[in-house]
Amino acid sequence: MANHMQFGFQDASSPIMEELMKFHDHALMTALAICSLVLYLLTAMLTEKLSSNTVNAQEIELVWTILPAAVLIMLALPSLQILYMMDEINEPDLTLKAIGHQWYWSYEYTDFKDLLFDSYMTPTADLPLGHFRLLEVDHRVVVPMESPVRVIVTADDVLHSWAVPSLGVKTDAIPGRLNQTSFTVSRPGVFYGQCSEICGANHSFMPIVVESVPLANFESWSSLMSS
Amino acid sequence: MLASRVFSLVGRRSISTSLCLRAHGHAGVVKAEEYTLPSYVDRRDVPLPEVAFVRDLSAQQKALKEKEKASWSALSAEEKVELYRIKFNETYAEMNKGTNEWKTILGGVLFFLGVTGIILIWQKHFMYGAIPHTFSEEWVSAQTKRMLDMRVNPLEGISAQWDFDKNEWKK
């Protein structure tokens, strides 16, 4: 989850999110360089330290066409690299389904035994002391750590979106459609997210909580929940 | 080739148009009625306008122009200034001097920021209800402790700023 008044990304808990953070740094620096240049030129022109009565400018036109094209290529290549990285064939150890309803998520672990449960937000009035308002749920999505997990996301009624920023995951839940996403959680912990597609009155009140645990703990949780 | 011919059709007209915008307010001196006719303009990057500022010279000014044809050292300072004013409307100093417009603009911006602030304060005082109980100091400290116990954001975030051995924030 985010700290109070946090401005940047949460710490990455999956390799894809680490890549996304590096790319974001790169893209932001490029944007900063361009904006600084534009701001400088603007200030120079507005304070009348820069003016031009050139009317035929083939050379500079060539420069300011080629240079932006080069910048765009510098942005496109890492972006596409990460895009393809996300879609690599990765043989997940676990497949689970996340189904969006108004206004809760339901999860199905049907690889081995049939484990189905709903995940409702804990109302603010019922929160134990120190718990996170609008983020806690009654049943968390428990996954084994350091294992590739595939999530099939869909919805039962209207559009929703299953998002966990720390894992770099956001996948739309569309009725009648199965969207697939995958992640590998690098470390044990609890990772929070919120529904990311407007879905009605309680859209802000259907969070997602992913808890990654060692495999043994996952197995005992799975047995406990199935019984 | 085509580009330069297109320019000579479009560019000169657009330059003349923009020049004419500056030539307003010089009552009866030079009017910018026909954009394709030579016009007068006060611009730093057009130092020699197409026509003189004063078109119809009075008798006195005509005499002065005759005197100008002789040696210039015979002209007095006032005569030289008069000759300048016949040719040009403003001096470079007059052309370049700033206005006090920025004060008006800044004042307007600050005023509206103030109005917005008053609206927000009024809203907070009269309109909004109480904030949730999870903002109380007791809750926030329990919450922060729980975040540290759960190792939330342990790489560069909050759990990386807490010294777990000494039980205090890192210096």
> Does the pLDDT at position B25 exceed 70?
no
Is the CB of B153 less than 8 angstroms away from the CB of A133? no
pLDDT of residue A101: 97
Minimal CA separation from B78 to chain A, in Å? 32
Is the CB of A130 less than 8 angstroms away from the CB of B151? no
Over residues A186-218, the pLDDT tens digits come to 999 999 999 999 999 999 999 999 999 999 999
**Whole-angstrom Cα distance, residue A106 to residue B114?**
49
- The domain locations on chain B are 27-99, 131-170
Q: Which of A36-40, A52-56, A60-64, A219-223 has the lowest mean pLDDT?
A: A52-56
Whether B143 contacts A130, CB under 8 Å: yes
Over residues B128-148, the pLDDT tens digits come to 999 999 999 999 999 999 999
Tell me the whole-structure pTM to 2 decimals: 0.79
**Whole-angstrom Cα distance, residue B40 to residue B51?**
6
**Chain A contact set for B134 (CB, 8 A):** 124, 127, 133
Minimal CA separation from B83 to chain A, in Å? 29
Going A131 to A135 to A138 to A139, the CA torsion angle's sign is negative
CATH placement of domain A15-87 = 1.10.287.90
Minimal CA separation from B151 to chain A, in Å? 7
**Chain A contact set for B3 (CB, 8 A):** 56
Pick the CATH number of A94-226 from 2.60.40.420, 3.30.565.10, 3.90.1150.10, 1.20.1260.10: 2.60.40.420
Pick the CATH number of B27-99 from 1.10.442.10, 1.10.540.10, 3.30.70.980, 1.20.120.160: 1.10.442.10
Q: What is the mean pLDDT of chain A?
A: 95
pLDDT of residue B32: 57
**Chain B contact set for A5 (CB, 8 A):** none
Q: Residues A29-49, buried b or exposed e (16+ Cβ, 10 A)?
A: eeeeeeeeeeeeeeeeeeeee
* Residue B5 contacts A where some CB pair is shorter than 8 Å: no
Please compute the mean of the pLDDT values over residues A12-32 and round it to a whole number. Answer: 97
Minimal CA separation from B45 to chain A, in Å? 7
Please compute the mean of the pLDDT values over residues B24-29 and round it to a whole number. Answer: 54
Bond preceding residue A105 cis, omega within 30 of 0: no
Whether A155 contacts A122, CB under 8 Å: no
**Chain A contact set for B139 (CB, 8 A):** 129-130
> Residue A2: pLDDT band by 50, 70, 90 thresholds?
confident
- The domain locations on chain A are 15-87, 94-226
pLDDT of residue B17: 47
Minimal CA separation from B139 to chain A, in Å? 5
pLDDT of residue B30: 59
Whether B25 contacts B42, CB under 8 Å: no
pLDDT of residue A52: 84
Is the CB of A55 less than 8 angstroms away from the CB of B152? no
14-73 in chain B: CB under 8 A from chain A:
44-45
pLDDT of residue A126: 96
Minimal CA separation from A195 to chain B, in Å? 20
Token representation of residue B68: 């100008």
- Best A132, A134, A140, A205 member to test B by mutation, with max B CBs in 10 Å, is A132
Whether A191 contacts A13, CB under 8 Å: yes
**Residue A204 vs residues A156, A190, B128: alpha-carbon distances, Å:** 18, 19, 19
106-165 in chain B: CB under 8 A from chain A:
132-134, 138-139, 142-143, 145-147, 150-158
Please compute the mean of the pLDDT values over residues A88-103 and round it to a whole number. Answer: 94
ipTM of the complex: 0.89
Token representation of residue A154: 């869909």
What is the number of other CB atoms lying within 10 angstroms of the CB of residue A82?
14
- Best B133, B143, B145 member to test A by mutation, with max A CBs in 10 Å, is B143
pLDDT of residue B10: 45
> Residue B95: pLDDT band by 50, 70, 90 thresholds?
confident
pLDDT of residue B11: 46
What is the number of other CB atoms lying within 10 angstroms of the CB of residue A115?
19
**Whole-angstrom Cα distance, residue A197 to residue B5?**
55
The burial of B61, by beta-carbon neighbours within 10 Å (0-12 exposed, 13-18 middle, 19 or more buried), is given as middle
Please compute the mean of the pLDDT values over residues B13-42 and round it to a whole number. Answer: 61
